[in-house]
Amino acid sequence: MKILVDENMPLARELFAGFGEVVARPGRGLAADDVRDADVLLVRSVTRVDEALLAGSRVRFVGTATIGTDHVDLDWLRAQGIAFASAPGCNAMSVVDYVASALLELADRHGFALAGKRAGIVGLGNVGSRLQRRLRAMGLDVLACDPPLADAGCTGLVDMDAIAGCDIVSFHTPLVRDGAHPSFHLGDAVFLARLKPGAILLNTSRGAVVDNVALLAALERRDDLHVVLDVWEGEPLVDRRLAARVALATPHIAGYSYDGKLRGTWMLYEALCAFLGQPPTMTLASLVPESARCVLDVARLAPRRALDLMRAAWRITDDDDAFRATLDADDDTRAAAFDRLRKQYPLRREFATVELVHDESLAARLPADERAMLRAQGFACVD
C-alpha cells in the first residue's frame, strides 16, 4: 500500500510505515500525477482535494490532519465511495493559546486591563467553546454568536449586532459560502463600521470570513482598531498594506502547536486503523520525544507576571516579527516565505503541557492574580 503524506505532518513516517510505503511531498503543489498510484492520501489545508486531483487514481482513503475541511470536495469523495477523515478539535487549544497570548500582548503594549472587557466569539464550536472557557477564566465577560447552534436549540447565544458592540471580537467559524448561515465575509464593511472605538478584532478562522479589502479600508480610515490576523484572503500571498496596519500578523500558525499537529496526524492514524479494520498498535503519549518537552526554570526566568512565563514558552511577537521580515520581497518570494515559515515552524508546546521547575512555591514569586492567570492559561503545578 502506498501512503502519500504532506511533508508538513510530524511523525507521519513513524505512524504510517506499518501500513506500507510512506512518501512525503510538499502539500501545496500536489498534482494528479503525484497521487495516481497512491492508496491513501493524507493532506493539510493547502492541498485542494477534488475530482481534478483524484479522478483515475487508486486513492480509497483521504485524511486531512486539520480542523477545517473547506479544501476538500466532500460531496465528490462521498459520490466516489472514497473514505474521508479529518481531525476535529486537534489544534483547538493551540488557537486558544494564540488568542489569549495576542490579547495579553496587546493589553501589555497599550497598558489596558482585559478583566471586565466584553468579548464576542463568532462560532462556538471546538475552538470557540474552549476559548469561551479560557476568556471567562481570565475575567472577561463572553458573548457568543452561532446561528447553526441556535437552530439546533442551543440557548444563550446572541446575534451579530451584539457581537459588533463588544470590546473584543474573535472569529471561529468554518468558511461557508452558501446555505442558511454563510460565513463568507461575515466581517464585512457594515460590520466593521459598527465596531466600538478601540475594539480588538481577531481572525484565526479562515481569511475570507473577514472581508480583507473592507478591513484595509476601515484601518485606513480609523487608527483606533487593534486587529490580529493569522489567516488571510489569498494565502499564501498576503496584502502587505493590510499586514502593515494590523497589530499582530502571523502566517496561519495559530493551530501550529506541536501538540495540535501531532494530534492531527494521530487522529488520521486512528481513522486509518478503523478503515482497515486494524487495532492501533501505538499510543499518542509514546510518540512525543524527550526533545519536545518544554521545561521552564522559574528561578532562572524570575517571572514577575504570568505573561513572562507565557512568553518563555512561546512568544507570539516572534512569529509576528518573522512574518513582517518577509513582507518587503516580491510576490513570489513573499508567497514562498509564507509557506516556509509554516514548514519550518519552531517547536511550540501548548501551555497546558509546559513543565515549570522551581525549588520554592510559585506563591513566593508571583502574586495571586498572576498565578490565577497562569492557571487560566492551563499551566499545571502553579501552586
Ligand X SMILES: O=C(O)[C@H](O)[C@H](O)COP(=O)(O)O
Query: If you ran DSSP here, which 8-state letter would residue 50 be given?
Result: S
Least Cβ distance, residue 201 to ligand NAD (angstroms): 15
Closest residue to ligand NAD using C-beta atoms: 125
Q: Dihedrals φ, ψ of 118, to 5°?
A: -105, 125
- Give catalytic residue positions: 206, 235, 252
Stretch that binds ligand NAD, among 84-92, 238-246, 261-269, 352-360 (CB under 6 A): 84-92
If binding means CB under 6 A, how many residues of this protein chain bind ligand NAD?
Answer: 35
Q: At what angle do helices 306-313 and 368-376 cross, to 10 degrees?
A: 40
Query: Is 69 annotated as a binding-site member?
Result: no
Beta strands 21-25 and 168-171 are unpaired
Query: Is 173 annotated as a binding-site member?
Result: yes
Query: Is 66 annotated as a binding-site member?
Result: yes
If we measure between CA atoms, which residue out of 202, 220, 225, 185 comes closest to residue 134? 202
Query: Is 264 annotated as a binding-site member?
Result: no
Query: Who contacts 319 (Cβ-Cβ below 8 Å, separation ≥6)?
Result: 250, 251, 253, 341
CA–CA dist 261, 115 (Å, integer): 31
CB nearer to ligand NAD: give 45 or 57.
Answer: 45
Least Cβ distance, residue 326 to ligand X (angstroms): 17
Please select the residue that binds ligand NAD; options are 48, 58, 181, 375, rule is CB under 6 A: 181
Residues 198-257 interacting with ligand NAD (rule: CB under 6 A): 204-206, 230-231, 252, 254-255
44 binds ligand X (CB under 6 A): yes
Residue with the three cell numbers 520581497? 329
SS3 content of the chain, % helix, strand, coil (to 5): 45, 15, 45
β-pair partners for 248: 228
If binding means CB under 6 A, how many residues of this protein chain bind ligand X?
Answer: 11
Rg (C-alpha) for the chain, rounded Å, is 21
Residues 62-91 interacting with ligand X (rule: CB under 6 A): 66-68, 91
Please select the residue that binds ligand NAD; options are 147, 165, 358, 372, rule is CB under 6 A: 147
CB nearer to ligand NAD: give 205 or 377.
Answer: 205
Residue with the three cell numbers 486591563? 113
CB nearer to ligand X: give 191 or 256.
Answer: 256
Query: Who contacts 177 (Cβ-Cβ below 8 Å, separation ≥6)?
Result: 184
Query: Is 333 annotated as a binding-site member?
Result: no
- Tell me how far CA of residue 79 lies from CA of 55, 83, 375, in angstroms: 12, 10, 47
CA–CA dist 199, 270 (Å, integer): 42
Binding string, 152-191, against ligand X, x = CB under 6 A? ----------------------------------------
- What distance, in Å, lies between the first and last C-alpha atoms of the chain? 51
8 binds ligand NAD (CB under 6 A): no
CB nearer to ligand X: give 77 or 87.
Answer: 87
Query: Who contacts 249 (Cβ-Cβ below 8 Å, separation ≥6)?
Result: 228, 229, 238, 243, 320, 323, 324
Query: What cell numbers appear for 285 in the block?
Result: 503519549
Task: Name the binder of 250 from ligand NAD, ligand X, none, CB < 5-8 A by kind.
Answer: none
Per the CB < 8 A criterion, the answer to whether 14 and 34 are in contact is no
Stretch that binds ligand X, among 49-57, 60-68, 218-226, 362-370 (CB under 6 A): 60-68
Least Cβ distance, residue 307 to ligand NAD (angstroms): 22
Please select the residue that binds ligand X; options are 125, 255, 303, 378, rule is CB under 6 A: 255
Residues 256-285 interacting with ligand X (rule: CB under 6 A): 256
CB nearer to ligand X: give 30 or 219.
Answer: 30
CB nearer to ligand X: give 92 or 309.
Answer: 92
CA–CA dist 88, 188 (Å, integer): 27
CB atoms within 10 A of CB 268: 27
3-state secondary structure of 72: strand
Residues that bind ligand X (CB under 6 A): 8, 44-46, 66-68, 91, 252, 255-256
Q: Which residues are annotated as a binding site for substrate?
A: 45, 66, 256
Residues that bind ligand NAD (CB under 6 A): 67-68, 88-89, 91-92, 95, 122-128, 145-149, 172-176, 181, 183, 186, 204-206, 230-231, 252, 254-255
